[in-house]
Amino acid sequence: MYELFIGTFVTFFVVIDPLGIAPIFAVMTDGASAAFKRRMVIRASLTSGIILLIFAFLGNGLLSALGISMLAFKTAGGVLLFMIALEMIFEKRTERREKKSEGLAHDLGQVEGSEGNVIVETDEDFEDISVFPIAIPFISGPGSIATIMLLMSQHTGNLEEQGQIIMALLAALLSTVIILLAASKIIGLLGHTIANAITRILGVILAALATQYIFDGIKGTFLG
């Protein structure tokens, strides 16, 4: 009964990759108060949830209006997920996120101390990062949008199974909230090396899932 829920939860957890977002969130909010961090995480999660639910229920209708078949979208989604998986395996995803966080920190005009430590006095010195880049594209990026649309289309007409998919999505978002709230402590306990290793393992799992999506799309197109 819970096989679909567990499988879907794992899929979303891998695609969203909260363990990969955690160190970036910790860096971008370093020096901010716990209240500010909670605000950012909650806003980001609510924004991501709304975006993903919209695509879950309206995404397939949009594809139909554009004349795009679900098999074509499934294949394209698999390719996209595979690219994300490669970035996770070779740490390109984390590297790009770190560059974004460094650029944001620079734009905020933070003052760097004599020993290289960033000095921030109040939460007002921090920009609101809840919508961008945490919600978009980190949590509700192209990969998670493609995943929710593909999964919902596979269970069209079965409200019980689609309900499990939505519950699994919400559970994955809740897990993301918990991990991001504890981001600083988690990074302190695990260290960046272990966090990067976990991200690579998740990348391999996502690559296998993406390959299956591609095979299913091609098989359905040419073999019916």
Note the pLDDT tens digit of each residue in 125-174. Answer: 677 888 887 898 789 877 788 889 989 988 888 889 999 999 999 999 99
For residue range 48-80, list pLDDT tens digits in order. Answer: 999 999 999 988 788 778 887 777 777 877 787
Whether 107 maps to a domain, the answer reads no
Whether 142 maps to a domain, the answer reads yes
Whether 159 maps to a domain, the answer reads yes
In a 3-state reduction of DSSP, which class is residue 186?
helix
Better pLDDT: 44 or 89: 44
Q: In the chain, how many domains are there? A: 1
**Residue 125 pLDDT:** 66
Whether 134 maps to a domain, the answer reads yes
**Residue 92 pLDDT:** 63
**Residue 163 pLDDT:** 94
Q: Which amino acid is located at 189 in the chain?
A: L
What secondary structure letter does DSSP report for 124? Answer: G
Q: Who's near 198: CB < 8 A, 6+ residues apart?
A: 19, 190
Contact 78, 211 (CB under 8 A): yes
74 vs 221: CA distance, rounded Å: 11
Whether 108 maps to a domain, the answer reads no
Share the mean pLDDT of the chain.
79
**Residue 121 pLDDT:** 44
Whether 57 maps to a domain, the answer reads yes
Q: Who's near 82: CB < 8 A, 6+ residues apart?
A: 206, 207, 210, 211, 214
Beta strands in the chain (DSSP E): 111-112, 118-119
Identify the domain containing residue 55 by its residue range: 3-100+128-223
Residue 122 has pLDDT above 80, yes or no: no
For residue range 13-49, list pLDDT tens digits in order. Answer: 988 989 878 877 877 787 788 889 899 999 999 999 9
Residue whose tokens read 């949008």: 145
Q: Which of 223, 4, 202, 224 is nearest to 94 (CA)?
A: 202
